[in-house]
Structure 1
Amino acid sequence: MKIKKPNLKSGRGILRESAPYCTAILFYLLLKHLYVLGDVIAAIVSVLTPILIGLILAYIIDPPVRKLEKKMAARGSRHYRGKAITIVVLIIVFSLLLLAAAVIPQFTTSIIHFSSNTTAYHESLQNSVDSLVGHHVDLTSTFSITDKIMVKLNKSVQNFIAQKSAATGKAIGNLAIDFILAIYFLLYKKSILRRGTHLLHMIVPESSYDQTAAFLKRCDVIFIKYISCEVIDGIIVGVANAVLMLIFRMEYIPLVSVVVGVTNLVPTFGPIIGAVCGVFILMIDNPLHAIIFLLITGLIQGLDGYVLKPKLYGDTLGIPGIWVLIAVILGGRIFGMWGMLLAIPVAAILSIVIDEAIIPALKKRQARRDGETAAASGGGDPGAGA
C-alpha cells in the first residue's frame, strides 16, 4: 500500500492539514482548564486591584460627571470639572452609606430576633399552613430542621461580626483609597486619554488606526449604556418592590428591596436569587407575605423584561438570548461575580467583532479560494479556449 505524501511545496503540508485538529484540541483543553486561566488572571489582577478599581470607579462616575459638567459650563460656572466630580462623588458615598445603614442593621437584627422568638414563628407558620391547606399539618420535623439552621446561622453572623470587624475596617479603608484614585483619574482624564491615544498610535498601524479607534468608541458606548441602564433598572425594580411591599404592609421592606435591586444587576440568574432571598426573609415572619412577594416579583420581572429593559437598552445590545446565557455562565466561571455582571456587554462586543470582522474576512477568503479554483479549472481545461 502506497502512502500519499503531503505536498509541502504547495503549502498543503502536514502543518496545514493538521491545523484544524490542533485547533480543536487546544479549544477542548482551554474549555477543560478554564479555572487555570481564571487563576492566572486573578493573580495578575490581585496585584493591580487598587489601580483597576480606581479606573473602573472613574469610568463609571465619568458619565454623570460629564453631564453635570456641561450644565455648569453652560451656566458660566468656574472650575466646573472639580465641582461636578465633588458633587457626584458625595452623592455616591451618601447613597452607599444610606444603603449600608438600611440593610446591615436590619439583617443582623432579623436573624437574632428570629432565633430568640422561634416559638411565636412556629405558631404563626403552623396557623398559616393549616388555613391554606384546610386541615392540620404536622410541621414538627420541619421546625426542628429550621431551628438548627437558624441557630447555626445566628452563631455564624455573630462570629462574623466579631471576627471580621478589622477586615471590614480595612475594606472600608481600601474603598476610600480607590475613591481617591478615581477622583485623581477623573481630574487628569484629558492627560490620561492623550497618553492613551499616543500609545494606541504606537501599537496600531496607521492604516487601521481610524477603524480601531472607532471600534473602541463603540465599545465605550456599549459599556456606558449597559452600566447606566443596569443601575437605573436596578433602582426602578427596587423602588417598585418597596412600594408594593409597603402597600401589602410587609416587614423588612428596606432589606428585601435592596437585595432585589442589587441582585437584579446580575443577568439571567439575578432575579431568581433575589426572589429566593426575599422569600426566605419573609417566610420566617409571615408565610402569606412570602407567597404575595413571589407574585409581586413575577409581576415586576415581567414588566422589567418586556417593557422597561427594551425601553432602556433600545437596539444597543441586540444579541440572542442563548448567547447571553452562555456568556453569563462562562463569565461567572472564569471571573466570578464580575464576569457575570459584565457578560452581556462583552458578548455584544464579541458579536460585533464576529459580524463585522471575522465573518467578512472568512467570506473574502472563501471568495478568493473560489476564484483560484475557478481559474485553475479554467486554465487546465483543454477546450476552454475553443
Structure 2
Amino acid sequence: MELEKKIRGKTAILIVLAFGLYIGFNYWNNIVAIFIKVYNLLFPFILGGCIAFILNIPARFISKKLLSCSDKGIGKIIKKHSTGISIVISFFAIVGIFVLISSIIIPNIIETAAILPKTFDNSARAFQKWMNGNTKLSNNVVNLINNMGIDWNNIFNKAKSIIFNGAGSMLLSTLAAATTLASATVEFILGVIFAIYILAQKRSLGIQFKKLLYAFMKKEKVDSILEILKLTNLTFSNFITGQCIVAAILGIMFFIIMMLLSMPYALMISVLICSLSIIPVLGSAIGCSLGVILILMVNPIKAGVFLIVFLLIKQIEDNFIYPKVVGESVGLPAIWVLVAITLGGKISGVAGMIIFIPMFSVAYVLLRKEVYIRLKGKDLEIK
C-alpha cells in the first residue's frame, strides 16, 4: 500500500513535469510575454521593495541611536517617533548625496565638453610640432616614416571626427536616457511611497508574513525559511555597507593624492571613482579610464602619473581595504566573487554585478553548512 502511494506520487510528479515541459517548449514566447507584463505591472512595488531595503540600512542604525535618548522631555517624543524620524533622515541623506555628486560631476563634464575641441586642436598641433622638430629620433626612422607617406593632418582630422561623432552619439544617448528617466518618474514616486509604507509598517508586515507561513507550512520548514531570509538580509546589508565604505575610502585617497600632485579634475575624478566603486571590481577601473581620458586632454604626462597612482591605490584596496571591510562581512572566496560578477553582468548588467555577490555568498554559506552536516553524518573528515 505504501509502495503504491509512492509510485502514484512519483507518477503525478512526472506527469506535471512533462506537461510543464510541453507548455514551455510550445508556448515559450507567450510565457515570456506574460512574465514581462506582470513584471511591468509590479515594477513600482519591486522598486519600492529595493528602495525600502536600501533605506532600511541607515534607518535601522539611526533608529537605534534615537532609541538611546532620554525618557524625559524631547527625548521621549523622539523615542516615540524614532521610526518615522529615521526614515525621513535616511531618505533626505541619500537624496542629498545623489544631488551633491551630480552637482560636482555634471558641471565639470559640460565644461570639459565645451573646451574639448580647442584642447584637441592644441594637442594635435603640439604633437605635430614635436614630431617635426625632434632631433633625437634616428634619421633612418624619420625617413622611414616620411617614405610611408603618412598624412598626419588627415590622421588627426579623422581622429577628431571619430571622437566628436562619438561624443554626438553619446549626447543623443544621454538625451534618450533622460527622456526615459522622465517617463519613469511616476513609477519612481510610487516606488518611494511604497518603500516608506513598508519601512513604517515593517514590524507589523513581518508578523503578518510569519503568521501566513506558519499557518500553511510545517514549523520546521518555516524556521528554516526564516533563518535563510535572516542570513540573506544580513549578508546583503553587510555587502552594501561595506561597498559604500570602500568607495568612500577610495574617493578620499584619490582626492588627497591628486591634490598633492596638483592634478586637474581632482574633485570630479575622485567623486566619479567613489560613485562607480559601488560596482564591485569593475567600477573603479571604469572610473580610472574616464579619469585618464579627462586628464589626457589637459596634460598627457599627468595622465600617466594618474594611471600609476590608480594602480598603486588599487593594490592597497585589493590587498588590505576590500578584504577587511567587505570580505569578512560577505565571506565569499575571491574566485566565486569573480564568477558572481561575470554571471551577474551577463544576466542583469550592473545591477546583476551588485546583487549576485551577496546571493552567491548566501548560497555558499548554506551549501557549506549542508556539506559539513552530511560529512559529519557519514563520519568523514576531508583534508
TM-score range (shorter-chain normalised) is 0.7 to 0.9
**Rounded Cα–Cα distance in structure 1 between residues aligned with 2:33 and 2:274:** 30
- Residue 354 (structure 1) aligns with: 367
Post-superposition offset of 1:318 = 2.5
Contact 2:119 2:297 in 1 (8 A): no
1:48-95 Cα distance to aligned partner (Å, 9 max, x none): 221111111111111211221122221133212211111111111111
Equivalent-residue separation in structure 2 for 1:346 and 1:131 (angstroms): 59
Which residue does the alignment assign to 1:93?
A: 95
SS in 1 for 2:162: helix
Cα gap change, 1:111 to 1:198, in 2 (>3 Å): same
Task: Give the corresponding residue for 1:290.
Answer: 303
Match of 1:66 among 54, 60, 67: 60
Give the letter aligned to residue 244 of structure 2: V
Q: Distance in 2 between matches of 1:64 and 1:108?
A: 33
Cα distance in 2 for partners of 1:132, 1:60 equals 58
How far is 1:309 from its partner?
1.6
**Given residue 159 of structure 2, which amino acid in structure 1 is its aligned partner?**
T
Q: Would you say 1:325 and 2:349 are equivalent positions?
A: no
For the Cα contact (< 8 Å) 2:255–2:267, is it kept in 1? Answer: yes
Over 3 Å counting, the alpha-carbon distance change for 1:304 and 1:117 in structure 2 is closer
- Output the TM-score relative to the length of structure 2: 0.76
Match of 2:44 in 1: 50
* Aligned partners of 1:318 and 1:348 also within 8 Å: yes
Do the aligned residues in 2 keep the contact of 1:38 with 1:335 (CA within 8 Å)?
A: no
The equivalences for 1:16-31 within 5 A come to none
Counterpart check, 1:105 vs 2:99: no
Contact 2:273 2:284 in 1 (8 A): yes
Q: Report if the CA contact (8 A) 2:123-2:297 is conserved.
A: yes
Secondary structure, counterpart of 2:330 in structure 1 = coil
SS at match of 2:292: helix
What is the rounded CA distance, in whole Å, between the counterparts of 1:38 and 1:362 in structure 2?
41
* Distance in 2 between residues matched to 1:43 and 1:296, nearest whole Å: 48
- The alpha-carbon distance between structure 1 residues 345 and 134, as it changes in their structure 2 partners (threshold 3 A), is farther
The residue aligned with 2:258 is 245
8 Å CA contact retained: 1:37, 1:334: no
Q: What TM-score does the superposition give when structure 1 sets the normalisation length?
A: 0.76
How far apart, in 1, do the equivalents of 2:170 and 2:133 lie? 34
Query: Which whole-Å CA distance do the structure 2 matches of 1:42 and 1:330 have between them?
Result: 21
The 2-side partners of 1:340 and 1:254 are apart by 26
Q: Name the CA distance, whole Å, in 2 between partners of 1:240 and 1:180.
A: 37
Higher helix share: 2
Match of 1:193 in 2: 206
1:119 partner amino acid: D
Cα pair distance change 1:163/1:339, threshold 3 Å: closer
Q: What whole-Å deviation, never above 9, does each CA across 1:257-315 have from its counterpart, x for those lacking one?
A: 23312332222322322222221222222211211111111121111111112221353
Letter matched to residue 237 of structure 1? L
> Structure 1 residues 248 and 228 mapped into 2: Cα distance closer, same or farther (>3 Å)?
same
Q: 1:328 to 1:174 in 2, by over 3 A?
A: same
1:305 matches 2:305? no
Aligned amino acid, residue 308 of structure 1 = I
Task: Give 1:45 deviation, angstroms.
Answer: 3.6
Task: Provide the alpha-carbon RMSD of the alignment.
Answer: 3.8
Using a 3 Å threshold, how does the CA distance of structure 1 residues 246 and 131 change in structure 2: closer, same or farther?
farther
Unaligned runs of 5+ in 1: 1-8, 20-25, 27-35, 368-386
Paired residue type of 1:318: G
1:75 aligns with 2:64: no
Could you list the per-position Cα deviations for residues 191-249 of structure 1 after superposition, in whole angstroms to 9, with x for gaps in the alignment? 22112212332454212332332222122111100010001111221222122222222
8 Å CA contact 1:128, 1:287 repeated in 2: no
